[in-house]
Amino acid sequence: METIETSIFAAVDEKSIHFIPSCSRNVALEVMVTTQNHEKILGKEGNFLKAILAREELVSTGIGFACAIPHAKLHDIDDFFIKIGIVQGAGIDWKSVDRTPVKLIFMIGGPAIEPNRYLKILSTITEAIRKEEFRKELLSCVTAKEVLKLFERI
């Protein structure tokens, strides 16, 4: 996978974008992880999914604005990746800080040995999410190609 540089969304490809029907938080996370579970990217033996679910049990990654940023760092992941989930329907009860059902999921994974890069990716996504126009445009996308075109403008 490409290195995440200037635009963190440059590393997102069509396989990293998921249109998910309304379901439970854990089912949505499992769908996003298992649709591209390459050991090199997501760790061995389901470690990434286990880490994501454990993180959610500690504290919700639902940050408000109908968005969640589930994330985990593992020693057996080679490079950073971002997966996007666009929830169709009413959204997902994520136990978000503002109690709004989640409709946009930005999943981040990466190596545990690069905390500064990890924080940069997290803050860049958070900054994008704060823009209402960005969220509206992303929610209006119906294909992965439309999502990628939107990311090209960021």
Alpha helices for 17-71 (secondary structure H): 25-34, 39-42, 47-58
Please report, to the nearest 10 degrees, the dihedral formed by the alpha carbons of residues 143, 146, 152, 154 taken in order: -100
Bridge partners, residue 111, by sequence: 74
Q: Is 71 a catalytic residue?
A: yes
- One-letter amino acid at 87 equals V
Three-state DSSP state, 118 = helix
Catalytic residue among 18, 38, 71, 75: 71
Find where tokens 């930005």 sit.
Answer: 106
Which residues are known catalytic residues? 71
